[in-house]
């Protein structure tokens, strides 16, 4: 075959009239016009030196251990140093960076773009100490890049897949003495924590990937994700959109600038004791960020030397501490999915909705950060104000923490907080925030009495009612204060506007078919319908449109950690599981009541055709109805996600962390097999056609 192709890469190019910056060369398919390519040797000298085997090793060690040393020498490790303690560095690294940091191939997002720097810094510490570091990666997608696309169908299921890959990588290096995990963002970081938590008898430490910086001018990464809706509504110009879109990710690495799922997961990882004190939300690329990786490597070697496994760090008490810190930060609702999954991986009790509600009622929100407000400070400013240990100082004074728990520093949480309170680091960073940004650190992280005086309310409420008999969730602290009554209660009674896909709902908003006072109901987007997709495109558009704060959203999907407004998600059961939300029609009357102080809430159908008949009669109306005829899973839902939805459903569902509970899954399979046998069903093999006839 002959044709036209790039002489450098050998890639065939069609059609041939493309204007490309190199000369076209007619050639044979197998030729590259470079005679040196065929100068191939079949033997080379190999590494210098010899391996430090002992007679005992050769007699007793598995062949894999011995051949592993041969592999190490082949990759260039000094043979005489091969016998050091082995540590595994796992990460979510993505993209290819040149030595100067410029891109050769892009990653999916800034959150994993620079984590290779952290890996290299940690590896250098291991090597200098005579240890042998190994490195492996499983990269992760970007929820921001996935918003409004079918990529969102893979978002939450990916977390379980990545956790499985990380666990397999850990087990596939049987000689490792400890694991250092580096991750930053929405799904890769929870997956990493799940994998480390499941390594019960290993020394493990988490290194959070930090945050990106604010642009000197422009918009943050939350607001900028709404430029399409704002442009369509005439709120911004094309030139403004192009300018702010270019500048928003002001530095090349780190998670987003708001307290979304990525930042909250970093906070929770530190609160659990899995990472060093004051490591969450560090500014990516800065020396203080690189120093964190180096200190983490030293801490891991100390944990291994003392025989302290991750199981000694992760306990029921540390889970409760994480719940308290989450409430004080006003963190993302997505941790309701992730923290139970981490607890499950650690073989601990999974926190329930009742646990979240109990903690949220007793722990005030102390942090003013995007998107909660009131002043909306960026995550890097929260870091400078003191981050997790500063919040924990307040919680300790309140008696809201168990400070006897162990941390990866090898000391108790109480000892860690004492060290933080008297540290020069604390004094200097808070001073930097004052001098460079003109911000009082106590306006970012407030004492409880100040937070209450400024009207900061608790975070998470779990409304129930005839539309959500098994519960739902709303980030009550993110409801616009101007639509909350003086009694602290948000009330809305309005007509339903029902949509079965997010694109249809967005199109309606852009076309002004959704009005103030409406209740936008988005169904068939739960695990069975769309992999429990995240719907920030929808909530973000409403936030930045003038009428948006007067519209409520009710869905069986989930929300981004940066979502704001009266947005009720996780409505259970989901529509495709027979939930009553799948019997709602346009112009049904829906009533929402959220007490932002007591965290009590309700979600009810109270009428139809504009007539208010109350919640009790609304229940009877729903009972008389059958499911909508148009309910269906998304036609683009991948089989991989359908399988995930089924497995997590029998493992406790979304309220149980959307995990894979192997014992529960096997029980269901065995029950199904027995039922098939009782009904005289043919074997599974016969059901698929059996062997071909000979």
The catalytic residues are: 560
Distance, CA of 263 to CA of 159 (rounded, Å): 16
SS3 state of residue 338: helix
Q: Give the sign of the dihedral formed by CA 164, CA 166, CA 167, CA 173.
A: positive
Structure tokens at 79: 């043979």
Distance, CA of 274 to CA of 276 (rounded, Å): 7
Taking CA atoms, 298 is separated from 121, 197, 205, 408, in Å, by: 11, 20, 10, 10
DSSP H/E element including 65:
helix 63-74
Distance, CA of 280 to CA of 270 (rounded, Å): 6
Distance, CA of 114 to CA of 225 (rounded, Å): 22
Taking CA atoms, 665 is separated from 156, 640, 645, in Å, by: 19, 16, 12
Distance, CA of 488 to CA of 483 (rounded, Å): 10
DSSP string, 293-313: HHHHHHHHHHHHHHT--HHHH
Angle at 514 between CA 509 and CA 519, to 5 degrees: 120
Q: Where are the beta strands (DSSP E) in 48-183?
A: 86-91, 96-97, 103-105, 132-137, 176-183
Distance, CA of 136 to CA of 130 (rounded, Å): 20
End-to-end CA distance of the chain: 41
Contact 596, 458 (CB under 8 A): yes
Contact 275, 206 (CB under 8 A): yes
Contact 368, 375 (CB under 8 A): yes
List the one residue out of 462, 295, 472, 484 whose CA is nearest residue 374.
484
List the one residue out of 542, 567, 563 whose CA is nearest residue 555.
567
Phi-psi region of 336 (alpha: psi -120 to 50; beta: other; left: phi over 0): alpha
Give residue 80's Cα distance to chain centre.
42
Go through the chain and tell me how many residues it has: 694
List the one residue out of 281, 271, 312 whose CA is nearest residue 401.
271
Structure tokens at 433: 């925030």
Distance, CA of 111 to CA of 108 (rounded, Å): 8
Contact 267, 328 (CB under 8 A): no
Phi, psi of 252 (to 5 degrees): -75, -15
Rg (CA), the chain: 27
268 CB neighbour count, 10 Å cutoff = 29
Strand partners, 207: 182
List the one residue out of 641, 606, 573, 646 whose CA is nearest residue 146.
641
């Amino acid at each position: 075959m002959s044709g036209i192709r790039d002489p450098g890469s050998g890639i065939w190019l069609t059609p041939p009239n493309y204007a490309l910056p190199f000369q076209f060369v007619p050639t044979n398919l197998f030729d590259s016009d470079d005679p040196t390519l065929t100068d191939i040797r079949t033997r080379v000298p190999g590494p210098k030196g010899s391996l430090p085997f002992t007679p005992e090793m050769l007699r007793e060690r598995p062949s894999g251990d011995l051949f592993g040393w041969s592999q190490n020498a082949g990759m260039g490790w000094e043979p005489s140093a091969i016998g050091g303690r082995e540590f595994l560095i796992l990460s979510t690294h993505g993209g290819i960076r040149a030595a100067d940091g410029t891109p050769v191939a892009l990653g999916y997002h800034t959150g994993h773009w620079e984590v290779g720097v952290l890996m290299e810094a940690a590896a250098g510490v291991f090597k200098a100490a005579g240890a042998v570091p190994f490195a492996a990666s499983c990269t992760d997608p970007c929820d921001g890049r996935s918003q409004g696309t079918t990529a969102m169908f893979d978002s939450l299921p990916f977390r379980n897949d990545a956790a499985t890959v990380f666990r397999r990588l850990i087990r596939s290096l049987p000689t490792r003495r400890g694991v250092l995990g580096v991750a930053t963002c929405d799904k890769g970081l929870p997956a990493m924590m799940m994998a480390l938590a499941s390594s019960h008898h290993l020394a493990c430490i988490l290194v959070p990937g930090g945050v990106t910086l604010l642009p000197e001018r422009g918009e943050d990464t939350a607001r900028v994700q709404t430029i399409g809706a704002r442009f369509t509504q005439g709120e911004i110009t094309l030139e403004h959109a192009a300018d702010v879109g270019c500048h928003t990710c002001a530095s090349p690495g780190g998670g987003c600038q708001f307290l979304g799922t990525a930042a909250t997961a970093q906070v929770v990882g530190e609160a659990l004791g899995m990472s060093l004190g004051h490591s969450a939300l560090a500014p990516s690329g800065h020396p203080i960020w690189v120093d964190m990786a180096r200190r983490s490597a030293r801490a891991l070697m100390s944990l291994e030397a003392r025989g302290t496994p991750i199981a000694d760090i992760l306990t029921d008490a540390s889970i409760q501490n994480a719940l308290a810190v989450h409430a004080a930060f006003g963190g993302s609702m997505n941790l309701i999915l992730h923290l139970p999954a981490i607890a499950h991986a650690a073989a601990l009790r999974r926190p329930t909705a009742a646990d979240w509600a109990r903690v949220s009622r007793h722990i005030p929100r102390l942090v003013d950060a995007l998107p909660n407000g009131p002043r909306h400070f960026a995550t890097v400013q929260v870091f400078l104000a003191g981050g997790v240990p500063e919040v924990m100082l307040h919680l300790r004074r309140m008696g809201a923490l168990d400070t006897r728990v162990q941390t990866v520093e090898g000391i108790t949480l109480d000892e860690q907080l004492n060290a933080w309170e008297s540290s020069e680091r604390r004094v200097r960073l808070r001073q930097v925030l004052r001098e460079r940004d003109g911000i009082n650190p106590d306006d970012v992280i407030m004492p409880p009495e100040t937070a209450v005086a400024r009207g900061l309310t608790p975070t998470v409420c779990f409304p129930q009612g005839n539309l959500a008999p098994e519960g739902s969730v709303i980030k009550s602290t993110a409801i616009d204060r101007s639509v909350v009554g003086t009694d602290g209660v948000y009330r809305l009674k309005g007509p339903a506007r029902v949509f079965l896909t997010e694109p249809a709902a967005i199109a309606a908003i852009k076309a002004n078919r959704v009005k103030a006072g409406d209740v936008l109901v988005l169904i068939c987007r739960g695990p069975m319908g769309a992999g429990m997709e995240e719907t920030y495109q929808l909530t973000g558009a409403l936030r930045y449109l003038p009428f948006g704060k007067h519209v409520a959203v009710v869905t069986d999907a989930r929300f981004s950690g940066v979502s704001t407004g009266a947005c009720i998600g996780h409505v259970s059961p989901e529509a495709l599981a027979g939930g009553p939300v799948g019997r709602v029609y346009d112009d049904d009357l829906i009533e929402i009541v959220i007490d932002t102080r007591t965290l009590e809430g309700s979600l009810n159908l109270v009428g139809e055709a504009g007539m208010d008949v109350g919640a009790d009669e609304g229940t009877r109306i729903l009972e008389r109805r059958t499911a909508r005829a148009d309910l269906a899973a998304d036609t683009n839902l991948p089989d991989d996600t359908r399988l995930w939805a089924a497995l997590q459903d029998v493992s406790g569902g979304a309220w149980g962390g959307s995990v894979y509970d192997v014992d529960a899954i096997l029980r269901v399979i065995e029950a199904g097999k027995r039922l098939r046998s009782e009904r005289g069903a043919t074997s599974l093999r016969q059901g698929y056609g059996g062997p071909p006839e000979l």
